[in-house]
Chains A and B, each alone.
Chain A
Amino acid sequence: MEPCRPRLLAALVLLLVMPLAPLLALPAVAEDFRLSDQCPPGFEQLGGDVCRLATLYDQYGSLRGRGVGGTRTGLPPRRDGFTAQQIDLGRYLFFDPLLSADGSLSCASCHDPALGFADGRGRSTGLHGEALPRGAPTLWNSAFLQHFFWDARADSLEAQLTGPLYAPEEMGNNPADLLAALRGNDAYPVLFRAAFGDDSGPIDTAQVYAALAAFEASLVSLNSRYDRYAHGDHSALDAEEIAGLNVFRSFVARCAECHTPPLFTNQQVAVIGSPEPPGLARDIGAEATLGSPKLRGAFKVPTLRNIARTAPYMHSGRFETLDEVVTFYNGGRGHAVPEGEALQLHWHIVSPDLADHELEQLVAFLGTLTDERFLPRVPTQVPSGLAVGGRSAREAPTPTGDAP
């Protein structure tokens, strides 16, 4: 079932055109921008254009409301309730390189809708072309997350987005310059008033963060073939995929113990002992966040939704394919931890000794978690007049060295 192929194609075409955009760009005219008064797909539109997400999982409960369980289990608490205008303003901001210090990077540079809202790189590329320590995670379904960043150091979308926005080696901006750029733009002051009210005063950072969070929280992917299976259409998966589901949730592979449906993450941190790319020192991960050496090398369990779209894998992209990932997990507890290195591996990291055909089934199952039906439209132009989306991951310069 490919109802949205045309839109995907459209998005791809747009992204391909992106590099040409500076040549084609005419100065943006404020009148060209009007915020949508329609909630994004999947959202019910309430009074005041407030958008409330509705999903088929809302039919179900979950134990203690935690949103972890089996096939028909409700989702964790979510962020929604933004207005259609706030979400659409967030969309413009998300694709506008105005947000970076030198006008070269937008959020979409590393969270590219055509690449599963990741960037296709093991480690993202910074403002000056440096290789950053970790990879960009997908933004799909971030409305449901309680912790953000690989090391779980932020507790809200707003706290998360200030990280890359102001990190010197990422977008490199600062609040004063950011506000000055937005306030000095022809279109943004009008758009912010449209989103936050006529009496909302001059643009402030809280509004910027809210609009970006609103857009990010609209990126919902819950309509994969797996979901159809979960809701009761058992013909949605073929025999190999169902066998893969059973390997996935078996207590031999134990994938579902941490990548727990319906979100395919239990939102905890875990030490799995996956290796860094050659030459890179061990990333201590959540040890720094929570101050416990027991969490040395712990990372947030990522969602597996759209996982087939977001290679390479792990926090620093050590594995190119899902085959490599499942082979790692099947390789035995701690097999990739260097001799003498102390890591307290998670108790579900075992030596499952799965057969080759079971690994293939597992990868087949992971492919059923793909759903980009609610892919948002990429703006044809952004208020700054800069290239929509800024420098894309594919045109990023070859890394010249590591970020400090």
Chain B
Amino acid sequence: MGTLSSTRTYWLRISLAVVVFIAFVVVVNVAAHGAFLEPSNLIMVLRQITYNCILGVGQTFVIITAGIDLSVGSLASMTGVIMALFANAVHLHGIALVLATLAVGVAVGALAGYVNALPVVRLNLPPFITTIAMLQMALGLSYIFSHGQPIALRSSAFTNLGIGTLFGSVLGPLHLPSLPVPVIWMIAVLVIASVLLTKTRFGRYVFAIGGNEEAARLAGVNVIRVKTLVYVISGVCAAIVGFLYMALFSSGSPQTGTGDELLESIAAVVVGGTSLMGGRGSIIGTFFGALLIGSLYNAMNLLNIDSYLQKVVLGAVILLAVVLDELRKRYLARSA
């Protein structure tokens, strides 16, 4: 390391999303006469990307093993409904209620992830279809459990988690907006996931399985356990999103999480440089991928771009990002 060629390609090697993002920020900020880089606007972007970003983090683990989890959106919805029902049914208050509810949601999400993984690891079925099956089942169940109606939370213990802010007393005097609580959740998830993926044996095995599953197996890696865990992690991330949505809307609704969340979270992962072929990717990349997509929407709103056109632009950006990433890889392969 530290050779000339490695410094030359350093900026190419780090996640492409970072580079594109910086260029994008400069252009948009000029076009929007500085409104884009207003601290309050940036905080709003962060807040908006929280949900897709957390879904994307779970998805990143799965995609690095060359799998995919298409059930995350409807799992967020189902866990939200279940958590709301639970919170309304138990006689707990305050922080105890919040923690118990979260624990129930996480357990349900983990179980769903386990069910997702079973046919994949035991029968070698493609996750594309097994997680579509879970998508449908979870969606149906959340409508059954909720009778199709949002379930309003009776307790107000969750309100702060959904719309509260923190560190206002510190940031306020500095003329900075205080941090929304969901953003803090996102940061916590990002940090934990990043450590898990880059600093633990489990994380190393995730990459090894995505790079060459047979070589990993012959090296003694418990492939079944690791692959099961990545779907469990994805289910847990979906449950956290279900929890945050529930707190945000003060209700568990079968309709939240079933919109663009799934595809935009996958887009965030891919734009963030994680390969759908497996073996390559990063949590920080997924964050920047989500940030790029969220900023793009925000910027187009600031610039008064028609909302239908926004979709077209978003699609084009996703395509551009993966095409550039492929070209970058070819360039690196040639120069190596």
**A and B part of one assembly:** no
